[in-house]
Amino acid sequence: MEDIRRWMILTSIAPITWGASYLVTRALLPADAPLWGAVMRALPAGLLLLLVARERPRGSWWWKAPVIGTLTVGAFFVLIYVVAQRLPSGLAATMMATSPAVMMLLAWPMLALRPQARALVGAGLGFVGVCAMLLTGVTGVDPIGVLASLTAMAMASVGFLLTRRWGGEVAVLPSTAWQLVAGGLVVLPFAVAVEGGPPRLDAPALAGFAFLTIVATALAYVLWFGGLAVLSPGTVGLLGALQAAPGRRDGPGDRRHRARASGRRRAGASARTRGGGGRRRAGQGRLRRRSAPRHGSAWARQDAAGARETLAYTLKRNSSLDDDS
C-alpha cells in the first residue's frame, strides 16, 4: 500500500509538468517549427537517458520502440506543439486532462481490464467540464487545435497502454530511452524536408527547450512509465487529469498572442482609415482653415497629435513583430 501511494505521488509529477509545457511552448518557443520542436524535445532527452541506462534495444524492441515512440513521443509531440500554439494554454491542458476516459475505455479491449464505476464517473465529470469550456466559457476556439488535441490524446493513450502491455519485458529506464530516441528519429527526416534547418533560438527559447527536455520529457516519462508498470491504467489515467492544474485561462503566451493579433488589427484599421479617408479629411481641413484661419494652431496641434498616434501604433506593431520573430 505504501508503494502504491509513493508511486501515485511520483507519477503525478509527470502530468503537472506536461500542463506547464503548454505555457512554455506558447510563450517561449518559435510558433512555426512544430517538427523541429518535437525533435529537439525528444532526441536530447532520449540520448540523456540512454547515457544513464547504457543498454541497447534487443529482440523485438527494435520494432516495438519505434511503434510506441511514434505514438507517445514523435507524432504526439508534433501535435502537442500545434495544440499549444493554437489553443489557450488552460484549455489545451484541460482537454488533454480528459485522457483518463480514453485510457480506461481502450484498456478494456487491449488489456482486458474492465474500468471501475468510480473511475468512469470521475473521467465523465472531466469530460463534461471540457465540453462546458468549449461550448460556453471559451470563445474563438481553433478547430484545428481541438482536432490536434483529440488526435494526440488518442494516440498517446494507445501508446501508453502498449507500454503497459510490453513493459514487463525490460526495465523502465532503458525502454523509455529507446522510445524517446526512436520518436525523435522518426520525426527528424520530416523536419528537414518540411521545415529545412533547425530554427534559430534565443535565450528564452533555449531555456524553454531545456525545461521541456529535462523536466517535462526525460524525468516525466520515466516517472509516468514507472507508474504504468505499478498502477492500474485507470489510476494512471486519472492522475493525468492533473495536467489542467498548471494551465491558466490567461497565461503569458496567451497575452502575447492576443497582443500580436490586436496590434495587427489596429495597424490594419489605421491604414484603412488613413488610406480611405485621407483625401476627404485633407479637403475638410482646407475648407475649415479657410473659413476659420484663426484656429490654425489648433489644427496644427490636432495634426501633430494624429502623427504621434500613427507613430505610436507603428512602433507598437513593429515591437510586437520583433518579439514574435
CA torsion angle 311 313 314 320 (round to 10): 140
Residue 174: pLDDT band (50, 70, 90) is: very high
pLDDT digits (tens, 9 = 90+) for 80-106: 999 988 888 777 777 776 776 777 778
Q: How far apart are CA 279 and CA 244, in angstroms?
A: 53
Q: How far is CA 99 from CA 24, 29, 115, in A?
A: 21, 25, 14
Cell representation of residue 217: 520529457
Secondary structure string (H, E, C) spanning 192-248: HHHHCCCCCCCHHHHHHHHHHHHHHHHHHHHHHHHHHHHCCHHHHHHHHHHHHCCCC
pLDDT score for 299 = 39
How high is the mean pLDDT of the chain?
A: 76
Return the top range by mean pLDDT from 43-57, 161-175, 258-272.
43-57
Of 321, 210, 219, residue with least CA distance to 262: 321
What CA–CA distance (Å, rounded) separates 75 from 186? 9
In sign, the C-alpha dihedral spanning 124, 126, 127, 128 is: positive
Is the model's pLDDT at 142 over the cut of 90? no
pLDDT tens across 248-303, in order?
444 444 444 444 444 444 444 444 444 444 444 444 443 343 334 444 444 344 44
pTM of the predicted model as reported, rounded to 2 decimal places: 0.70
Q: How confident is the model at residue 242 (pLDDT cuts 50, 70, 90)?
A: confident
Per-residue pLDDT band at 147 (split at 50, 70, 90): very high
- Map grid coordinates 495597424 to a residue: 267
Q: Is the pLDDT of residue 243 over 60?
A: yes
Show the cell assigned to 254: 496567451
**Domain spans, the chain:** 2-249, 259-324
Give the residue with greater pLDDT, 292 vs 155: 155
